[in-house]
Amino acid sequence: MVQQQRYDAGAIQPVWLLVALRNKLTGRNVKIRFAIKAEGSGSYETNQFGNWNLNQHLQSLQSQQSESAEMQFYFKPKNWDEAWDGDDPSFWGESVPENQILEEMYRPATLIVNMHNNSPQSVSISNSGNLVILNPNLESRPDQISENVWNAALNSIRDAGEPRILIFLQPIWIKARKFSNRLGTIQSPTLIVVHHTGGELISSAIYHFTRENASSSIHYIIDKDGQIVKMVMNSKCAWHADGKGGSHWGGSQRVNHFSIGIEIVHADGPDGNNPFTEEQYNALISLIQSLQERHNIPQHRVVGHSDVAVPPSHNCPGPNFDWRTLENAGLGLKVPFYESNLNPYDFPIERKSPSQLIEELKEDLRGIGYYLPEESGYGSETATAIERFKRHFLSGSRRPRDENGEMTRWRKVINGDNVDLQVAEMIKAARKYINEQ
């Protein structure tokens, strides 16, 4: 509760108490204005730079009995709509008219400032993902904030004077630069495509999707801590899967038009063995389940970028993504137990000396959904489809290891020029699973 007893407007008039709101993921000024409601009395507004002088409120108070006081301030985007509320990203902003969707959106938050002798002594802020720092400097960077983001924020307030309150707000929406309408015949997405960013920082991915000359976009992006940012509405076509060679799945091309794209902040690392975080898997599973329920997308219709890309030049989401984690949650393609009648002596099948069995496996790959145009024997298109399959089903916890427990070199793992018994049985099992859906 605000105690309005000792503050003297004349005594505090010289004090410049800047409260600066910054995008937690970029360090830049927030691109929307916030209405501020002080507990007890006082209504204010941030300026176009996301700043507010707390001194405005202190000057409005009269005398005070105690030298100390706890003050609460409720920050809410001026254009806040209940359509942005809740913990389900699949609903965020979907009912907001297109011409009213802003560049960014944040959740409302409560700032608590503990004052003593007209000076803030400590600060805290509500909502998971938000951070607040009192009197920030080069040495006080929190671990959750990258150096580039920290420096960008400090540069924006370097002339403000002390004390200062720097608030990093976790965005729930940042509008991508490029997207389009879905094809007129497509009413709702029917496929979910998982990607990884190929970089360690979400700020780099956001810049990639928001820069003026952007050529791609994504519906959702999941940070390392599991926080989700929406960038394109579900009803729109994000440019995430159709590369120079196009994309195909389940006999249909131009995957962008019937899919939802989800990026995960991740790079394989210098040794190619950098795992995704548990928080990312949890957030991804929850988001996929929400999207499937909202749009009636079948559980098995979850694939990776490398499954649909033509040609398959993408390690995306890559060798470290564990599809088995999604399978255990009932999502995506599966390879359940398969009672094989395949003859081990027929393997491996080599491209240079193919067997008749390859024709059967080609039909299985098509039945699963992989792009495989008609060709005679074990040609380049067949090898490419096998490579796509291996990129999906031999990644993560299924990735082969040598006798010393070291992971087999990825290029060797995904080689499409041969099929061993294990891969053939997995192809058969996946096809059987799809037929049962």
What domains can be seen in the chain, in order of their start residue?
Answer: 9-172 (no CATH), 176-328 (3.40.80.10), 344-436 (no CATH)
Most confident range, picked from 169-183, 237-251, 306-320: 169-183
**CA-only gyration radius of the chain, Å:** 27
Catalytic residue from among 263, 279, 360, 403? 263
Give dist(CA 409, CA 272) in Å, integer: 9
Q: Between the CA atoms of 90, 93, 94 and 95, what dihedral angle is there, to the nearest 10 degrees?
A: 140
Quick one: pLDDT at residue 14?
44
Quick one: pLDDT at residue 107?
96
Helix (H) or strand (E) holding 180: strand 179-181
Structure tokens at 378: 């074990």
Q: What angle do CA 264, 268, 269 make, to 5 degrees?
A: 125
Q: Examine the residue annotation and report whether 263 is marked as an active-site residue of this protein.
A: yes
- Residue range 2-25, pLDDT digits in tens: 343 444 444 444 456 899 999 999
Structure tokens at 282: 């949890």
Give dist(CA 188, CA 372) in Å, integer: 26
pLDDT over 70 percentage in the chain: 93
Quick one: pLDDT at residue 2?
38
Judged against a pLDDT cut of 70, whether residue 227 lies above it is answered with yes
- Residue range 191-215, pLDDT digits in tens: 999 999 999 999 999 999 999 999 9
pTM to 2 decimals?
Answer: 0.93
Comparing 128-137, 240-249, 357-366, the range with the smallest average pLDDT is: 240-249
Query: Who's near 284: CB < 8 A, 6+ residues apart?
Result: 194, 222, 262, 264, 326
Helix (H) or strand (E) holding 196: strand 191-196
What single DSSP character describes residue 409?
P
* Helix axes of 357-368 and 421-436: crossing angle, nearest 10 degrees: 40
The neighbour count for residue 248, using CB atoms within 10 Å, is: 21
* DSSP β-bridge partners for residue 76: 35
- Residue range 46-101, pLDDT digits in tens: 999 999 998 888 777 654 445 778 899 999 999 999 999 999 999 999 999 999 99
DSSP per residue over 125-136, as a string?
E-STT-EEEES-
- Residue range 387-430, pLDDT digits in tens: 999 999 999 999 998 888 888 999 999 999 999 999 999 999 99
Query: Who's near 164: CB < 8 A, 6+ residues apart?
Result: 17, 18, 19, 20, 134, 135, 136, 157
Higher-confidence position of 402 and 373: 373
Give dist(CA 215, CA 179) in Å, integer: 9
Burial 82-118 (b: 16+ CB within 10 A, else e): ebbeeeebbbbbeebeeeeebebbbbbbbbebebeeb
Structure tokens at 212: 């003026």
Place of tokens 């503990």: 114
- Residue range 111-127, pLDDT digits in tens: 999 988 778 899 999 98
Q: What angle do CA 147, 27, 87 make, to 5 degrees?
A: 110
Structure tokens at 291: 């999207």
Judged against a pLDDT cut of 50, whether residue 281 lies above it is answered with yes
Quick one: pLDDT at residue 158?
81
- Residue range 153-168, pLDDT digits in tens: 999 888 777 768 999 9
What single DSSP character describes residue 193?
E
